[in-house]
Amino acid sequence: MSAPQKVTADHQAEIAARVKAVEAIMIEKGLMTTEAVDRLAEIYENEVGPQLGAKVVAKAWTDPEFKERLLADASKACSELGIGGLQGEDMVAVEDTDDIHHVIVCTLCSCYPWPVLGLPPNWYKMPQYRAAMVRAPRRVLREEFGYDVPESVEIRVWDSSSELRYWVLPQRPAGTEGLSEEQLAALVTRDSMIGVGAPKAAA
């Protein structure tokens, strides 16, 4: 499997050109307006996406009672922060510890907790990722994502479905005791909530 996080500039340009072409056709045929396109972009940039998941993670890092509720019922806990909706009805948060690291995959298609993570990355939907992560998660994390999980740490792979959508509550980085929730949220990455990366280190 080629490294899923490495997308060439040519490939990005090709994808952008295709998107623009589809957008133009839909507008021309009256299926969608320019305003609707702009609104959809705004929603996925500002109202749903990894920044919302980061907000939830930061809250869990600083509020033990909220973390307990999150691990008991992720969808209900997220709704306390006004986060939820389509593809987020039955979410489960699994917590990384010193001894266990979690990683998420969907072996059947690309089920994914949109309200907290936004749109799934292209590599998440690739058959190569879905198959290889189940068979050899430690190797895939190391070779494809540059994320080396120590041999002493158990890796658990969670298979999302239309009934249950998993995501990871990563460990809080060391040296962040004095940071606010907003500052902590800035350290949380989408990849850390999928389990293929770590949160950013404290400055």
Residue 109 a catalytic site member: yes
* Given 75, 78, 79, 110, the catalytic residue: 110
Q: How many CB atoms lie within 10 A of CB 175?
A: 10
- Token representation of residue 121: 């990355």
Cα distance between residue 51 and residue 117, in whole Å: 8
Catalytic: which of 78, 106, 160, 192?
106
> Is residue 162 annotated as part of the catalytic site, yes or no?
no
Of the residues 75, 78, 111, 160, only one is catalytic, namely 111
Decide if 78 is catalytic. Answer: no
111 a catalytic residue:
yes
Of 109, 161, 162, 180, the active-site residue reads 109
Catalytic residue positions, numbered = 106, 109-111
